[in-house]
């Protein structure tokens, strides 16, 4: 749709004034440091604000500058990210920090092309960081903004179809207040997060009440449009806690890919017509070369990823024979239960580690 310039100016004014009065006090809003803002935006991708705050505070306390992050061991970075999910974000941020130190003298580049050349920096991160930290007139489009635009402009483009992004970006560009892009972008995201929420939005307190076309047309319930996706498949996984003397075996995943660089208890997929205990024994043999027997069933864990879910049966296993020869994992370690806290684990492992610690008769290491 085509907004008249006067209408656009009115929307901008209403939104900016609303944000100045009602914005949440968040730690990354208390700084103009581009590195700190960058860290927050990376963490906020796919993750709610309330979850991010404690992670952000710990991360910035440990790595207060981009130079500190670049000089850190990746395992330290992953450990601080543990439980936040989407670990490629952490790996890319760590890599990007190294590039900033090596190529840009430790200064986050204010140039869009240079900033987007860094690992993990796409259109959203670039627009958010460069507009908020440097005042560049780049419109942000995230899930909150898409939902807001979908209703405000009664857009029929499905918000979860990648080909629709250009339409949302064009509309965001049209509405952007170029005189204060930092405030405007944050206002759009804030309005989507607090007022124009999924389900039933708070239209009665919305500053754009008089301009919302979906509300005027009585079709709020039809926006945003979404394409129905196929059901997410569930995979059955069997994992073994291999005990040898007073030590437990953990293995490290390859650097890239899903959960790259994290440590875990070995195991894998239960094949068709295979029992979970048999799969556990087979997977440990295939991955590590060790022969084990099942001592007991510890628990069943359910965990969801973006494109699939898992049901994980966890077994206590006795070491029988063999030396570790890895096939798949890139490293292994025999650790005492008290050392578990030193290593970064995936979320599914974190769900059963407290029970494991209890079973082994120790207090929780976290």
> What are 317's two structure tokens?
């296993």
How far, in Å, CA of 252 to CA of 87, rounded?
Answer: 14
Catalytic-labelled residue, pool 41, 82, 190, 264? 41
Q: 3-state DSSP call for residue 65?
A: coil
| Continuous segment of H or E residues that includes residue 293 | strand 291-304
Distance (Å, rounded) from C-alpha 267 to C-alpha 279? 8
Residue with tokens 């309330």: 50
Instruction: Kindly give the pairing relationship between strand 291-304 and strand 309-321.
Output: antiparallel
Angstrom distance (rounded) from CA 81 to CA 55: 7
Which has the closest alpha carbon to 300: 259, 273, 343, 270?
A: 270
Collapsing DSSP to helix, strand or coil, 320 comes out as strand
Beta bridge partners of 240: 315
To 5 degrees, how large is the angle CA 289–CA 290–CA 294? 140
311 is catalytic: no
Residue 225, token pair as written in the block: 């449009």
- 349-353, long-range: CB < 8 A, 24+ apart: 349/239, 349/264, 349/265, 350/82, 350/83, 351/301, 351/303, 352/298, 352/299, 352/301, 352/312, 352/314
User: How far apart, in whole angstroms, are the C-alpha atoms of residue 108 and residue 36?
Assistant: 10
CB atoms inside a 10 Å sphere around CB 239: 25
DSSP, collapsed to helix, strand or coil, labels residue 349 as helix
C-alpha distance from residue 28 to each of 70, 246, 355 (Å):
20, 44, 35
239 close to 297: Cβ distance less than 8 angstroms: no
Do 169 and 145 meet the contact criterion of CB atoms below 8 Å apart?
A: no
CB 317 within 8 A of CB 344: no
Tell me the two tokens of residue 251. 């293995």
Q: Which residues are catalytic?
A: 41
């Amino acid at each position: 749709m085509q907004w008249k310039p006067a209408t656009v100016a009115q929307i901008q004014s209403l939104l900016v004034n609303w944000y100045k009065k009602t914005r949440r006090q968040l730690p990354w809003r208390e700084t103009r440091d581009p590195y700190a803002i960058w860290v927050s935006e990376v963490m906020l991708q796919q993750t709610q604000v309330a979850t991010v705050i404690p992670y952000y505070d710990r991360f910035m306390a440990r790595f207060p500058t981009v130079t500190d992050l670049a000089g850190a061991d990746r395992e330290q970075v992953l450990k601080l990210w543990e439980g936040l999910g989407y670990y490629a974000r952490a790996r890319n941020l760590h890599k990007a920090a190294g590039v900033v130190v090596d190529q840009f003298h430790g200064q986050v580049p204010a140039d869009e092309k240079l900033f987007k050349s860094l690992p993990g920096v796409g259109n959203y991160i670039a627009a958010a960081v460069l507009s908020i930290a440097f005042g560049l007139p780049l419109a942000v489009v995230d899930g909150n903004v898409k939902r807001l635009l979908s209703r405000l402009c009664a857009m029929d483009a499905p918000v979860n179809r990648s080909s629709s992004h250009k339409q949302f970006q064009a509309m965001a560009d049209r509405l952007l207040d170029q005189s204060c892009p930092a405030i405007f972008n944050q206002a759009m995201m804030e309005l989507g997060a607090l007022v124009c929420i999924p389900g039933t939005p708070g239209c009665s307190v919305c500053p754009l009440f008089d301009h919302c076309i979906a509300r005027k047309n009585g079709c709020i319930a039809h926006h945003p449009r979404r394409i129905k996706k196929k059901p997410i498949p569930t995979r059955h996984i069997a994992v073994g806690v291999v005990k040898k003397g007073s030590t437990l075996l953990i293995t490290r995943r390859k650097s890239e890919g899903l959960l790259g660089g994290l440590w875990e208890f070995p195991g894998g997929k239960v094949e068709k017509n295979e029992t979970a205990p048999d799969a556990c024994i087979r997977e440990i043999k295939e991955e590590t070369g060790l022969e084990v027997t099942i001592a007991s069933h510890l628990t069943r864990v359910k965990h969801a990823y973006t494109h699939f879910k898992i049901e994980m049966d966890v077994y206590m296993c006795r070491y029988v024979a063999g030396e570790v020869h890895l096939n798949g994992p890139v490293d292994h370690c025999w650790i005492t239960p008290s050392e578990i806290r030193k290593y970064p684990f995936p979320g599914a492992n974190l769900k059963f580690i407290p029970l494991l610690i209890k079973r082994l008769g120790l207090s929780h290491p976290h």
